Chains A and B, each alone.
Chain A
Amino acid sequence: MQYEQAQSMSVVYNLGLATRVPLGEGRTFTVGERTVAVFRTRSGALLATQAECPHQRGPLADGLLGGNVLVCPLHGYKFDIKTGLAVGHACGSLKTYTVELSDREEILLRVEDS
């Protein structure tokens, strides 16, 4: 067990039915100690990033999502939601999370604990 703890732990959380997040929008989830913004695209794909904008802590789940681009609602800073990389600014990139849809249409979020 000791050597297992030294490695990073990967924990998958079930956040409930995907319909908790409206199509094309995002919602913030509390997952343990952290908050995560989970998005559901119009085509049904799930994506997840850190909840707050690195610029001035804007709530990213309240942002606009289109194509691969997520726009923070406070000052319009843009990010590539798949890679988390900043688009057109140098305010730092977003942590992204792996998120999947379960067979029962639930949101499965993978969190790496190190």
Chain B
Amino acid sequence: MKKEKLVVIGNGMAGARLVEELLARGGAAHFDIVMFGDEPYGNYNRILLSGVLAGTHDPRDIFINPLSWYQEKGVTLHAGVRVERIDGRQKLVHGAGGITEHYDKLVIATGSSAFVPPLVGLKNESGQYKEGVFVFRTLDDCTAITQHAAKAKKAVVIGGGLLGLEAARGLLELGLEVHVVHLKGHLMELQLDAKGGAILQRTLEGMGLHVHLKKNSRELLGHERVNGLLFDDGSSLACDLVVISAGIRPNVELAREAGIHVERGIVVGDDLRAPNEQDIYALGECAQHRGRVYGLVAPLWEQAQVLAERLSGRNPQALYTGSQVSTKLKVMGIELAVMGAQEVTGEQDEEVTYMDATQGIYKKLIIRDQRLVGAILLGDTSSAPNLLSAFGRGTQVPESRSELLFPSMGEASTPSVLQLPDTAQVCNCNGVSKQNILEAVSKGHRTLKKLCDATRAGTGCGSCKKDVQALLENAVGDNSVEDPSAHYYVPGVPLAKAELVAEIKARGLRSVSAVFEALADGREDVASKTGLASLLKTLWGKDYEDERDARFINDRVHANIQRDATFSVIPRIFGGVTSPAQLRQIADVAERHNVKMVKITGGQRIDLLGIPKEKLPEVWRELGMPSGHGYAKSFRTCKTCVGSEFCRYGLGDSTALGIAIEKRFQGLESPHKMKLATAGCPRNCSEATTKDVGAVAIGGDRWEIYVGGAAGSRVRKGDILCVVDSHEDVLKLMGRFMQYYREHGKYLERTHDFVERVGIDKLRRLLVEDEEKLAARLDADIQAAVDAFVDPWEEAMRPHHPSQFTHTLPMESEASGSVARPVTAEA
């Protein structure tokens, strides 16, 4: 297939990021890529320009991709070549110096430039800016300001927004007297409310900055070189350096002249395409999407990902639906994190604020329907990771608002990973230190997945992943690259769960190898096998083509491997209720096999530990009990309390209910294990409120059903899904929830993460109120899964393979007649 030519106008953060994302998705196979860059450099991180001005960053440090990168990647870059015209009819881009490129697809990423208000006396007689007058936008601007600052004493920055204050910081560092003049009533009005702006101003003034609010600049004084600034109110300010930082304007002239629809920015749809142009796309600060032009980096990253998904053909239907704006930044060294709404919008909104002006700390949260819709954190952003996560995922916030404002007051009383010393161990499963992780980041592992793969952090129980993420974000800021595979159900098949399920059903793929063949170019991926096996079993039930090599060892031999390569055997004891005869049977087997340890488990069962693999079938046969599934990603057990039959407090028959639950759902496959419990009264002796699914009797035959509880590496009280009034309804609603989780949970996503991700309100609407009429279908599907259950321990009688339970195949095996013997011996 002949490759198409993709031309990208703009080599800034948007254009270059798009190309990076495209290459990461194999885009080089589809396109010859040509880029035009106005500046004669590779691609640099514009956000760090203030650091260059302040002298804290060397210009070399802020390059993301040097010129050699383009060469290595086979990308043609016309560096320092300004594009003069787009010819949409002939599909040509004309650059300065007669450089013309034909395109099949065109991406406009021209970004924005500094807005310069119409000031009197801005330019000298030859039409140049007066000496000492600058804008602050490019590396060249930065160099020019630094050079001039060496001979200047008093600087004025016009504009008290983020960029203006950053410029002011740089100038202060250079030893100048610095004044900021701002048109509005408080600093950084785009990010901060009036109170926040006032606190920021106080802190900045403490650092030696002079701030002048509500000042409209009218005229730059001086002949050839600037010597002062005159305001509308008649006052003036002497100075010998002026930096104009009054906002940015999208660069849309090229597009407008080419007849592309332009409003404030180049108008694009959710496909990031200009609506009337077949092959022209725009992204970044020059693009206007759903009426918004974004000036922050995170939305731009998201746009680059969506466009790369479309252009690479990886997901031609990918859509960009807008960004929730959140950002973490430093203003003159002061931490600031802002997200979402700045002010309450109605009576339903709740505002929570904390202010400590002497410390320069201001925190404000806006909460709507128990969800965080906006926040400002100034001077102390220690709670930003939690808040960003709550904001981004739309999860419910804790009742105690102070936990949100002060992370150390809540569940996470341990210090933030960012505050730990470098030697601190972050991943306790694999012994990975903070230092190991930071070193891996500096070696270029800039996605969570790559970082985890490189260090092994987060690859054990996974509970430290959010810490690893926090370290990554802190180390690289918004420069972390999201790995496209983060959304895949399994890493080796480039599809999210819903899409994968659709493909599997449409193509009738019933085995793991068939999925690799059809959906992964035949590439078998070891990390994807167990996840696919679990999904296929859930989808096809008894029609699933079982390939045992896709199972983890535990699921091949139906027992849990131990550190010495022996196994644990846990027979099922329904609801934890046993009998003397059963106990005697277990005791006999344990004695006969010299079981190393007999252990009562947390799930009210009896564990026989240290059984060699080849003894498993014999032990199962002698026990004569079904598998307790102490090994599988499936329904595990239902813990019970004594309940109403004996307990003097019991309100409901929790033992009978627990036995019924366990009989019904035993062995049911799911994205991760499910541990259940029933409690006969709210005293909760069986800990039902911290189980994946739990039922608590509240009297009058009524039961509360809890979902998403956890008491493992994370502790979370479950959410009440509903209250029902019979055992039958408990079974029905639990089954409905489990089936929905089976269908929509990510592989290895426990219910506590799943419930938070989906939201308990939505689950109630879907599963209890049946808003989308799913319930009958879910009920039928869980019934089919229940009916398809076969006790895996029946393989004690009918092994799947003659060597299924062999630990070591002998050199001589009389049974098979094959003898291991030297065939040849050669020198």
A interacts with B: yes
Task: Please determine whether B552 and A10 come into contact, CB atoms closer than 8 angstroms.
Answer: no
Task: Please determine whether B548 and A16 come into contact, CB atoms closer than 8 angstroms.
Answer: no
CB distance from A78 to the nearest CB of B (A): 8
Task: Please determine whether A31 and B820 come into contact, CB atoms closer than 8 angstroms.
Answer: yes
A4 within 8 A of B: yes
Give the docked Cα–Cα distance between A57 and B561 (Å).
13
B408 within 8 A of A: no
Task: Please determine whether A108 and B823 come into contact, CB atoms closer than 8 angstroms.
Answer: yes
B400 within 8 A of A: no
Question: Would you list 13 pairs from A and B whose C-beta atoms are within 8 A, ordered by A residue?
Answer: A14-B819, A16-B816, A22-B549, A24-B548, A28-B809, A29-B808, A29-B811, A32-B811, A66-B528, A66-B529, A67-B523, A67-B525, A74-B561
B527 within 8 A of A: yes
A59 within 8 A of B: yes
Residue among B528, B530, B809 with the highest chain A CB neighbour number at 10 A: B809
Interface residues of B in 797-817 (CB under 8 A from A): 801-804, 806-811, 813, 816-817
Interface residues as binary, A72-112 with B (CB distance below 8 Å gives 1, 0 otherwise)? 01111010000000001100000000000000001010000
In the bound complex, residues from chain A placing their C-beta under 8 Å from that of B826 are 9-10
Give the docked Cα–Cα distance between A49 and B98 (Å).
61
> Which one of B459, B807, B813 lies within 8 Å of A28 (CB-CB)?
B807
Q: Known contacts A11-B825, A64-B529: does B548 contact A27 (CB below 8 Å)? A: no
Give the docked Cα–Cα distance between A10 and B818 (Å).
21
Q: Known contacts A56-B563, A58-B565, A63-B553: does B818 contact A106 (CB below 8 Å)? A: yes
How many residues belonging to A are interface residues under a CB distance threshold of 8 Å?
Answer: 47
CB distance from B234 to the nearest CB of A (A): 69
Task: Please determine whether B453 and A88 come into contact, CB atoms closer than 8 angstroms.
Answer: yes
Give the docked Cα–Cα distance between A13 and B822 (Å).
4
In the bound complex, residues from chain B placing their C-beta under 8 Å from that of A59 are 565, 807
In the bound complex, residues from chain B placing their C-beta under 8 Å from that of A23 are 547, 549
Q: Known contacts A14-B820, A32-B811: does B552 contact A65 (CB below 8 Å)? A: no
Q: A11-B824, A30-B820, A74-B563 are in contact. List 16 more A-B contacts (CB 8 A).
A: A11-B825, A13-B820, A14-B820, A16-B809, A16-B820, A22-B548, A22-B801, A23-B549, A25-B549, A29-B809, A30-B810, A66-B492, A67-B525, A75-B460, A76-B459, A106-B818
Give the docked Cα–Cα distance between A32 and B802 (Å).
23
B412 within 8 A of A: no
Q: Known contacts A65-B549, A66-B524: does B459 contact A20 (CB below 8 Å)? A: no
B821 within 8 A of A: yes
B1 within 8 A of A: no
CB distance from B567 to the nearest CB of A (A): 10
CB distance from A72 to the nearest CB of B (A): 10
Q: Known contacts A16-B813, A66-B525, A76-B459: does B549 contact A42 (CB below 8 Å)? A: yes
CB distance from B736 to the nearest CB of A (A): 33
Give the docked Cα–Cα distance between A10 and B817 (Å).
25
A: which residues have CB within 8 A of B?
4, 7, 9-17, 20-25, 27-32, 35, 42, 56-59, 62-67, 69-71, 73-76, 78, 88-89, 106, 108
In the bound complex, residues from chain B placing their C-beta under 8 Å from that of A35 are 808
In the bound complex, residues from chain A placing their C-beta under 8 Å from that of B549 are 22-25, 42, 64-65
In the bound complex, residues from chain B placing their C-beta under 8 Å from that of A29 are 808-809, 811, 820
Task: Please determine whether A27 and B526 come into contact, CB atoms closer than 8 angstroms.
Answer: no
> Which one of A30, A32, A64 lies within 8 Å of B530 (CB-CB)?
A64
CB distance from A46 to the nearest CB of B (A): 14
In the bound complex, residues from chain B placing their C-beta under 8 Å from that of A27 are 803, 806, 809
In the bound complex, residues from chain A placing their C-beta under 8 Å from that of B454 are 88
Query: Closest residue to B452 on the A side, CB-wise?
Result: A88
Interface residues as binary, B534-556 with A (CB distance below 8 Å gives 1, 0 otherwise)? 00000000000001111011001
> Which one of B459, B561, B804, B818 lies within 8 Å of A17 (CB-CB)?
B818
In the bound complex, residues from chain A placing their C-beta under 8 Å from that of B506 are none
B112 within 8 A of A: no
In the bound complex, residues from chain A placing their C-beta under 8 Å from that of B820 are 13-16, 29-31
Give the docked Cα–Cα distance between A37 and B816 (Å).
19
Query: Closest residue to B562 on the A side, CB-wise?
Result: A74
In the bound complex, residues from chain A placing their C-beta under 8 Å from that of B513 are 42
Q: Which 4 A-B pairs have the closest CB atoms?
A: A16-B818, A24-B549, A66-B526, A62-B553
